[in-house]
Amino acid sequence: MSSSGKWISVCSFKHNGLVHRLWNRTLVLYEDEDFLVVGNDDSTVYEADGRSWKVKEPAVTFFFKKHWYNIIAMLRETGIHYYCNIASPYTKQNDNVIYVDYDLDLSIKPNQPLKILDEIEYQRHRKELGYSLEIDYKIKEGMYDLMERYQKKEFPFKEEKIFEYYNTFLKLKSED
CB proximity list for 138: less than 8 A, separation 6 or greater: 68, 88
Q: Which of 21, 25, 76, 124 is catalytic?
A: 21
Known catalytic residue: 76?
Answer: no
> Is the four-CA dihedral 10, 16, 17, 18 of positive or negative sign?
negative
Hey, how many other C-beta atoms are within 10 angstroms of the C-beta on 64?
A: 20
Closest-CA residue to 58 (of 71, 73, 47): 73
Task: Provide the 8-state DSSP code for 43.
Answer: -
DSSP H or E segment with residue 140: helix 133-151
- The catalytic residue positions are 21
